[in-house]
Amino acid sequence: MEKKWYRAPFIKGVLVVLAHIAVVASLMGFTWVILCAGVNYVNPTAKIPEDYAQTKQFGKNMNNALYEMSWNLFSLNGIEKDGKLNEEMLIDLEKYYNSGEVSAKEGEGNGFVYKLSDLINAEDDSEENREIVVCQKTDGSYAYEEWGSIQGKLLSGELVFAELADQTDSESESGYDVDDFLYMLEDRYNGYEYNEYFGICNKEGTLIYTDCWRMPVSSMINMMLETKTAEGKDVLKLVNENAYWNGRLQEMENMFGHARSSLRDRIDRYKEYQELWSEGKTNLTFILLDEENKKVYTNDSKYENYETASKNYKDLMKNSAGRENAYINMRPAEGEVEVQQIAGWKASEWQSLCDHIEGTVGTEKIHIVAAVDLDYPVTDRFQFIDGTYDKVQPHLHNLILLAWGGVVVFLISIIWLTAVSGRSNTQDGVKTNIVDRLFTEIPVGVLLGGIFMMVGGVSVSYGEWYNNYGRWIIDNTSFTAQEFVPSPSIGAAEVSLIVLMTLGGAVCFFYGYLSSVRKLKAGTFFNGFGIWKIGKWCIRVTVKLFRITVKGFREFWRHKNLMTKVILIFIGLTLLHLFGGISAFFAFCSVVVDAILFIVLVKYAIDKQKVMDGIKEITAGHVEYKIPTEGLKGDNKEMAESINAIGEGLQNAVEESLKSERLKTDLITNVSHDIKTPLTSIINYVDLLKRENIEDPKIKGYIEVLEAKAQRLKILTEDVVEASKISSGNIKLEMMDLNFVEIILQTAGEFSEKFEARDLKLISNLPERPVVIHADGRRMWRVLANIYNNAAKYAMEHTRIYADLEENENEVAFSLKNISEQALNISADELTERFIRGDISRSTEGSGLGLSIAKNLTQKMGGDFRIYLDGDLFKVTLVFPKVKKEKKGRIHGETDRRKCIISDNIGVNGLSGNR
């Protein structure tokens, strides 16, 4: 086939490598441009701003910073006093849990009130959890006691287990003493362990607790136990004395945990504000005017007064050097917006900030003013990003070209690879590999996984990950303002992560994509889905199970009388054993019925064994055997009588068959004898006529024809007798070790003249060394002679005949093959039947018994006779077991290869025809 350069494996490899490089280059180029300047500047014709403040990314960062600042600034709302955390404030935990309301007055909240300082400083300092026992009183309320307390009272006698209260000794009727009850109580949770009664009495014997159990104690309950309420009470004392909280200790645990974690988070966020956004820590100035309540929130002390701030907020439009700041002034309720030095500003991008602040302040009448000093006098994120941008900006245009160049290379590579995938210069059609033989779900899944990884690399590089990373630093480590910089300054670790994710995604994408393309071209994509194959398998199994069920139901219905008996007996026994546990009478009846059933089953098994013994006798050939039916009952008797009838029928059939075989043998013998007698006379008289030296050529021709037909009739008669003897088993074999090579050579020599007469060339491939088999020499000669004679008569003239002898450790195989002169329109099995000839026109000599005799003799000697037909090719193969160890003395046929000839009394001219 024509070799095309664009299909070469080297070109494909180069394209794959270029495609991977293009993906990474495009991603890195677009990442830097978008992070540094914004998505608008990925257009190669767009002008890159010289200053960071002129990019859209600057406005986005300013918006994010204001959102974060306001979120942290208002975190102390309600829990501060004079701008500082009010640690003495009282917190009603139930109100805070339900509505978020924090302030409480002394005496409110049903006693479940804590000081803010106690709540946020609560820690579990105990080495192990304290243990609490809950006791239910007779009025349905609960008493909570620590394990050590109630254990001491029970051991001292102040309290007594109810089961021990009326006993004169220290043990209950069940044999348990107070230590046993304490041990069980220690493992009893919420009343689910042990069935003993755990009521408790006072020392006078009056029942005070109807039940007791241990309560699992978490670390949060431990904190509650170690932290006093605002009234100085222990939480156990509160739930025992206050009916409102009695029985609600676990609810109180949830309220305590919620308030502690929520308030701690608010305080941590305020600390974050102080560290990052307070005055002198940032270049961003923020003023929020609550015009409804006349309040001001700001990170600049110059504007803490509401009147001053409302009049002088426009001072933020310029910095101290007179340069314009990045400035925004918004009144959302009135729809007023004033923007300065914020490129690409859109109102929709700032609306979420306004909504957030309105929700936090609780009013829509707000006035937001914010400004960033573009001289960046303070080290913060804005200064850091601006410095980085100044370094990167000169290279952004080249990065854009690199990114778009990568896109072009990727598209060219993917189109090229799609066209040549599955095509090869070494073979026609679609060339697949081993991975294309997997279920289609695998390459498709890898393809989607690759896309996901590349999209993940894009997401990581586009900033969300960096913001989360910065948040993690704030929440988990000490930091400075300079450390919190989610910016385009990507470190080596981040670059490596992006490259690895993108490269790994590209590898997976190309593997899945190209494999899918090859499967589509080969037509195996849709048929290769594993779910489809599994579905078809499930359908096949379901259909098979359905058929088995239907068949089983049919069998059940056919034997419904027997099956009904079995089912009824099973149901009766099951019910009897179920009722056996009700009373002694039913138990006794169950034992009696089981004993009777055991005797019946033993008798049934004995009878069944008699039937099986009879079947074995008949199977062994003793068809005259009769199964004794005396003592048999039911199904066994019916089965035995049926088997006896079958045996009697077999015996009659065997006798008829033997009689017929004897008659057939006698007929063949008598007919052959009757034919042989006159035939011998004819042959003798023909021989006498030949000796008379008759000169008349016409009469001479008549004598030759008469002699040939007489010889043919003689051969036919002997073949029929021989076939009859073999089929009836009336043949005696004289088995001995034979040199198979010698016999084959002798047979070939006998038929050399016949082969030459039809211009047939015999090509023998025989080993030089002796090959020994165990067979009858005379019968082996007959088999080979029939095969060679068959080839001499039916092979196409002027062709070759091949004789091959092969051997292995266990077997010897001889084959003779030739091209048939006549079309073989019958099967190989039919050729070995009696009186079947391949020459349908019967224009050649032969009786149709030769191959049948050869096959039967071969099988009688322990060999295998095979015929193979392929068009006009005819091949006969004889296979015999190989004699591995030669016996001492000579092997038959080994004496003087040139002189020793094994010959049948029929001679060459007496061989029977085949086919």
DSSP codes of every residue in 818-841: EEBSS---S-HHHHTSTT--S-TT
Residue-level pLDDT at 369 = 92
In the DSSP assignment, the letter for residue 871 is: T
Contact between residue 771 and residue 812 where contact means Cβ atoms under 8 Å apart: yes
pTM of the model: 0.46
Estimate the crossing angle of helix 381-420 against helix 9-36, to 10 degrees: 160
Angstrom distance (rounded) from CA 107 to CA 100: 19
Angstrom distance (rounded) from CA 60 to CA 44: 22
Across the range 839-846, mean pLDDT stands at: 48
Q: Given a cut of 80, is residue 240 above it in pLDDT?
A: yes
Across the range 556-578, mean pLDDT stands at: 70
- Residue 437 CB neighbour total at 10 angstroms: 11
Q: Given a cut of 80, is residue 615 above it in pLDDT?
A: yes
Q: Which amino acid is at 699?
A: I
Contact between residue 212 and residue 200 where contact means Cβ atoms under 8 Å apart: yes
Q: 285 forms bridges with which residues in the sheet?
A: 371
Residue-level pLDDT at 764 = 92
Residue-level pLDDT at 438 = 77
Q: How many CA atoms lie within 13 A of 133 on its CB side?
A: 25
Contact between residue 245 and residue 238 where contact means Cβ atoms under 8 Å apart: yes
Tokens of 341: 């030095």
* More confident position, 283 or 504: 283
Angstrom distance (rounded) from CA 333 to CA 354: 10
Q: Which amino acid is at 112?
A: F
Angstrom distance (rounded) from CA 495 to CA 514: 28
Q: How many CA atoms lie within 13 A of 226 on its CB side?
A: 17
* More confident position, 455 or 296: 296
Residue-level pLDDT at 395 = 73
Q: Is 159 left (phi over 0), alpha (psi -120 to 50) or beta?
A: beta
Contact between residue 118 and residue 89 where contact means Cβ atoms under 8 Å apart: no
Sign of the torsion angle spanned by Cα atoms 429, 435, 441, 445: negative
Angstrom distance (rounded) from CA 762 to CA 351: 103
Q: Given a cut of 50, is residue 911 above it in pLDDT?
A: no
Residue-level pLDDT at 842 = 43
Residue-level pLDDT at 914 = 43
Contact between residue 450 and residue 508 where contact means Cβ atoms under 8 Å apart: yes
Across the range 283-289, mean pLDDT stands at: 91
Q: Among 64-73, 226-235, 583-592, 868-877, which stretch is predicted with the lowest mean pLDDT?
A: 583-592
Q: Among 83-97, 233-247, 327-341, 450-464, which stretch is predicted with the lowest mean pLDDT?
A: 450-464
Angstrom distance (rounded) from CA 97 to CA 868: 93
Across the range 148-163, mean pLDDT stands at: 88
Angstrom distance (rounded) from CA 384 to CA 393: 14
Q: Given a cut of 60, is residue 482 above it in pLDDT?
A: no
Q: Given a cut of 80, is residue 117 above it in pLDDT?
A: yes
In the DSSP assignment, the letter for residue 795 is: B
Contact between residue 802 and residue 818 where contact means Cβ atoms under 8 Å apart: yes
Residue-level pLDDT at 744 = 92
Q: Among 137-141, 250-254, 645-649, which stretch is predicted with the lowest mean pLDDT?
A: 645-649
Strands 159-161 vs 200-202: parallel, antiparallel or unpaired: antiparallel
Per-residue confidence at 488, pLDDT binned at 50, 70, 90? very low
Per-residue confidence at 557, pLDDT binned at 50, 70, 90? low
Nearest Cα to Cα of residue 781 among 739, 843, 822: 739
Per-residue confidence at 489, pLDDT binned at 50, 70, 90? very low
* More confident position, 34 or 157: 157
Quote the radius of gyration of the chain (alpha carbons, Å).
Answer: 54
Q: Given a cut of 90, is residue 761 above it in pLDDT?
A: yes
Nearest Cα to Cα of residue 120 among 257, 253, 274: 257
Residue 135, judged by CB atoms within 10 A of its CB (0-12, 13-18, 19+), counts as buried
Cα dihedral: 23, 27, 29, 30 (round 10)? 130
Q: Scan for tokens 């060219």, then name that residue.
A: 412
In the DSSP assignment, the letter for residue 48 is: P
Q: Given a cut of 60, is residue 889 above it in pLDDT?
A: no
* More confident position, 392 or 727: 392
Q: Given a cut of 60, is residue 469 above it in pLDDT?
A: no
Q: Among 260-264, 326-330, 470-474, 574-578, which stretch is predicted with the lowest mean pLDDT?
A: 470-474
Per-residue confidence at 898, pLDDT binned at 50, 70, 90? very low
Residue-level pLDDT at 63 = 87
Residue-level pLDDT at 170 = 57
Tokens of 325: 């700041």
Q: Scan for tokens 């919420």, then name that residue.
A: 190
Beta-strand runs (E) in 220-346: 284-290, 295-298, 326-331, 336-340
Angstrom distance (rounded) from CA 44 to CA 31: 14
Residue-level pLDDT at 583 = 67
Q: Which of 711-715, 790-794, 889-893 has the highest mean pLDDT?
A: 790-794
Q: Given a cut of 90, is residue 876 above it in pLDDT?
A: yes
Q: Given a cut of 50, is residue 487 above it in pLDDT?
A: no
Per-residue confidence at 584, pLDDT binned at 50, 70, 90? confident
Residue-level pLDDT at 840 = 47
Residue-level pLDDT at 816 = 94
Strands 761-765 vs 800-807: parallel, antiparallel or unpaired: parallel
Angstrom distance (rounded) from CA 235 to CA 240: 9
CATH code for 732-910?
A: 3.30.565.10
Contact between residue 372 and residue 283 where contact means Cβ atoms under 8 Å apart: yes
Residue-level pLDDT at 743 = 92
Q: Given a cut of 80, is residue 460 above it in pLDDT?
A: no
Tokens of 568: 């009824």
Tokens of 713: 């009739």
* More confident position, 709 or 305: 305
Q: Which of 34-48, 113-127, 811-825 has the highest mean pLDDT?
A: 811-825
Per-residue confidence at 813, pLDDT binned at 50, 70, 90? very high
* More confident position, 560 or 27: 27
Residue-level pLDDT at 446 = 82
Angstrom distance (rounded) from CA 853 to CA 859: 10
* More confident position, 806 or 84: 806
- How many secondary structure helices (H) and strands (E) does the chain include? 26, 21
Per-residue confidence at 474, pLDDT binned at 50, 70, 90? very low
Q: Scan for tokens 């009838």, then name that residue.
A: 645
Residue-level pLDDT at 3 = 67
Angstrom distance (rounded) from CA 87 to CA 80: 8
Per-residue confidence at 745, pLDDT binned at 50, 70, 90? very high
The share of the chain scoring above pLDDT 70, in percent, equals 79
Angstrom distance (rounded) from CA 605 to CA 608: 5
How far, CA to CA in Å, does 896 sit from each of 520, 742, 748, 901, 910?
71, 10, 17, 9, 25
**Residues whose CB is less than 8 angstroms from the CB of residue 841 and which lie 6 or more positions away in sequence, other chains included:** 822
Q: Among 74-88, 139-153, 770-784, which stretch is predicted with the lowest mean pLDDT?
A: 74-88
* More confident position, 339 or 428: 339
Angstrom distance (rounded) from CA 310 to CA 292: 13
* More confident position, 41 or 549: 549
Residue-level pLDDT at 773 = 92
Strands 113-115 vs 132-137: parallel, antiparallel or unpaired: unpaired
Average pLDDT over all residues of the chain: 78
In the DSSP assignment, the letter for residue 7 is: G
Q: Given a cut of 90, is residue 147 above it in pLDDT?
A: no
Across the range 678-702, mean pLDDT stands at: 80
The share of the chain scoring above pLDDT 90, in percent, equals 11
Residue-level pLDDT at 425 = 60
Q: How many CA atoms lie within 13 A of 196 on its CB side?
A: 24
Q: Which amino acid is at 277?
A: W
Helix (H) or strand (E) holding 870: strand 864-870
Nearest Cα to Cα of residue 76 among 360, 405, 454, 366: 360
Strand, coil or helix: 289: strand
Per-residue confidence at 172, pLDDT binned at 50, 70, 90? low
Contact between residue 26 and residue 407 where contact means Cβ atoms under 8 Å apart: yes
Estimate the crossing angle of helix 249-276 against helix 219-226, to 10 degrees: 90
Per-residue confidence at 714, pLDDT binned at 50, 70, 90? confident
Estimate the crossing angle of helix 347-361 against helix 56-73, to 10 degrees: 0
Helix (H) or strand (E) holding 412: helix 381-420
* More confident position, 541 or 491: 541
Angstrom distance (rounded) from CA 710 to CA 534: 73
Beta-strand runs (E) in 714-807: 735-739, 761-765, 772-776, 800-807
Q: Given a cut of 70, is residue 179 above it in pLDDT?
A: yes
* More confident position, 482 or 915: 915
The angle at the Cα of 699, spanning 698 to 705, to the nearest 5 degrees, equals 95
Residue 210, judged by CB atoms within 10 A of its CB (0-12, 13-18, 19+), counts as middle
Angstrom distance (rounded) from CA 793 to CA 781: 18
Across the range 151-156, mean pLDDT stands at: 89
Q: Given a cut of 90, is residue 671 above it in pLDDT?
A: no
